[in-house]
Structure 1
Amino acid sequence: MRNKEHLDEPVDEGTAVSIYAAGALCWRTKKKKLEVLLIHRQRYDDWSWPKGKLDKGETLPECAVREVSEEVGLPITLGIPLSSIRYAVKSGCKEVHYWAAAAGDMPVLPDGKEVNEVLWCSPSKARELLSNPSDLEPLEALVSAYDRSRLSTWPLLIIRHAKAKPRSAWTRAEGERPLAATGMRQALYLQRLLMAWHPNRIYTSGWMRCISTISPYAQHTKAKVKVVQRLTEADHNRHPAKVTAVVEKLLTRSSATGLCTHRPVLPTVLKALATHMPAEMRKSLPIQDPHLSPGEVLIAHVSLDEPGTIVALEQHKPYDD
């Protein structure tokens, strides 16, 4: 069956992307066997993954969560990132980003507008049904992660505080330096972005610019906020080993958690994370100063099967005026 959304022409690596989209491969285990969720779209008469185009101002993770909710009625939290795919469409080149999303036994309800049928099936059955050959790429990535016990994870989100007023323009205590106007917009952007992983607890420096960065999300979700003075610049300068101890303690958790701190503290945080991942993955860490831009987020996906082991990384840029 030919998928009418796709054209037959191959897509060059250098082809500019005209459409960005995002989605998720929802998965569960049934009788100790992996199953994935396929959707059938009547418009194209095809079998594919839940996905859709970005709305204006939307981030890729937000889009993935929204599309799954709209098309199959599942509220999801994103897991590890999977392969992104590109293919030719009438307007040029479409790039789709995918994540894994554990779905358990939640009921699945097609929206009836775009999706008229849904199916939980084995990966082998999915390979037979998928209409677009490129949709096999994220499936193989998911199956590989499952086979290596790398699919069940929880996210540790490392957040650099949003853009603050310049030090040179601030004459009061450093811990009271507030966010700039851009930083306040970045904090609102983070409120939406972080919803894709739902951190239920955030550990933060007690300085104003960190508190203000995570406040919109915490107020919106009622996430618990724990102020940790060790994460301030001043305490880190005196006792960097105590920051390492904070990170090590967080890695013993098993539910989505955030950590918000400052640029000078990030090298110590990243060094601690590096000891919990394969050597090849360490090359993906942002080790060059400034490590993360103001308001940027690094997500370390930590294995539930091998506690304390980081199995995937992803970064998300901040809102930019």
Structure 2
Amino acid sequence: MATPEQARTAAAIPGGTPDIVAAGTLCWRIDKGKLEVLLIHRPRYQDWSWPKGKLDPGETTPECAVRETSEEIGLRVQLGLPLPSIRYAVAAGSKVVHYWAAHAGRSTAVPDGKEADGIRWCSPETARGMLSNPSDIEPLEALVDAHTRNDLLTWPLLVVRHAKAQPRSSWSRAEGERPLAATGRRQAVAVSRLLQAWAPERILSSPWVRCVQTVSPYVTKHNAKLKLVDALTESDAARRPGRARSAVEKAFDKRKSVAVCTHRPVLPLVFGVLRTHMTAQLAALLPTDDPYLSPGEAVICQVSSTNHGRIVSVEQYRAYDD
């Protein structure tokens, strides 16, 4: 059974639901002022390609892309710009591969010897001639185009709706103390796995229990900095919406990866701020209808590192829910 995230992805690609879903990365770096990308040689197929592989059960495509890159070439990457997905025929039917740009920096890639027995850093021009699958050129062209616009180097800003909480009707104490339900606690673990794909260094969260419980598995595992922001609570945002907007606006100031965890009624204020940082075309991708996001669902924006405050991509994923 496809995850909700997979189902949305498949619906967005002509041709219906694919038989095989895979994900991977185009790792890149700047060497002596020139853009280089990383190709891998796959002994099984005797071809040159990008690091990629099929989804494991209970895995979203972003998680798969990071895992496969780590397994095949030993790089633990954080996802950057989403790149065009490609679709092609295989023996089992149709296959879709979802790609992201991934800045490798000074990290060293080492092929695992099984899935990849060789690697090569090369210019985009050389990569075009080496790629065995012609459709692999499309995400490369998008990466080069982003580099030309000075928008390839980015940092992520994530917006997360807290996981499923206990029903209001069964809670008699203070609203801020209402915790996650049992399914919500499982969702919080899945949210942690999803966030790892972008590895936010900071978490801005409503101090209400259900939000803190949603981000705690990630904060604990990755030693992220957690800041509790009263302006992101339902009650404070309703009384003083300007404070909630200001808290989101300040998330841009440090120009470092950050996730914001809040409540359904606060999401329109959050998205309203994000819209001021992006084109109308991208703004159309943000949720507009209540409930905006499902519990445990996230919107991921990539913000240009060179064009301060400009959001250059929007994605939406739901953590795997059993």
TM-score, L = length of structure 2: 0.94
Name the SS for the 1:178 alignment partner.
Answer: coil
1:234-245 alignment runs, 5 A limit: 234-245=235-246
- The 3 A distance-change label for structure 1 pair 319 and 57 is closer
- Give how far 1:15 is off: 4.3
**SS state of the match for residue 84, structure 1?**
strand
Secondary structure of the corresponding residue to residue 125 of structure 1: helix
* Partner Cα distance (1:77, 1:263) in 2: 27
Return structure 1 stretches of 4+ with deviation > 2 angstroms.
Answer: 12-16, 318-321
- State the distance in 1 between where 2:320 and 2:115 align: 31
- CA-to-partner distance for each residue in 1:248-299, whole Å, 9 max, x for gaps? 1101222211110000000000000100111211111111111111100101
Deviation of 1:17 (Å): 1.0
2:271 alignment partner AA: L
Per mean C-alpha deviation after superposition, the further-off stretch among 95-104 and 54-63 is 54-63
Matched residue SS, 1:281: helix
| Paired residue total | 310
8 Å contact 1:203–1:260 — kept in the other structure? Answer: yes
Sequence identity (%): 60
Query: Is 1:62 aligned with 2:88?
Result: no
CA distance in structure 1 between the aligned counterparts of 2:107 and 2:19, rounded to whole angstroms: 35
Moved more, 109-118 or 258-267: 109-118
The residue number in structure 1 matching 2:100 is: 99
Q: Which runs of 5+ in 2 are unaligned?
A: 1-12
Deviations 1:40-74 (A, max 9, x none): 11111101000011111111111111111111111
Question: 1:212 aligns to what?
Answer: 213
> Displacement of 1:317 after TM fit?
1.4
Q: CA deviation at 1:14?
A: 2.5
Instruction: Specify the code of the residue in structure 2 equivalent to 1:145.
Output: A
Partner amino acid for 1:177?
R
1:43-192 → structure 2 map (5 Å cutoff): 43-192=44-193
Aligned partners of 1:252 and 1:307 also within 8 Å = no
AA partner of residue 260 (structure 2): L
Secondary structure at 2:83's aligned position in 1? coil
Q: Which residue matches 2:265?
A: 264
Q: Which runs of 5+ in 1 are unaligned?
A: 1-11
Give the distance between the partners of 1:183 and 1:209, measured in 2 at CA: 9
Note if contact 1:293-1:318 (Cα within 8 Å) is conserved in structure 2: no
Query: Deviations along 1:88-143, whole A, 9 cap, x unmatched?
Result: 11111111110000001221211111211100011111110000011011101111
Contact 1:150 1:303 in 2 (8 A): yes
TM-score by length of 1: 0.94
Q: CA RMSD in A?
A: 1.1
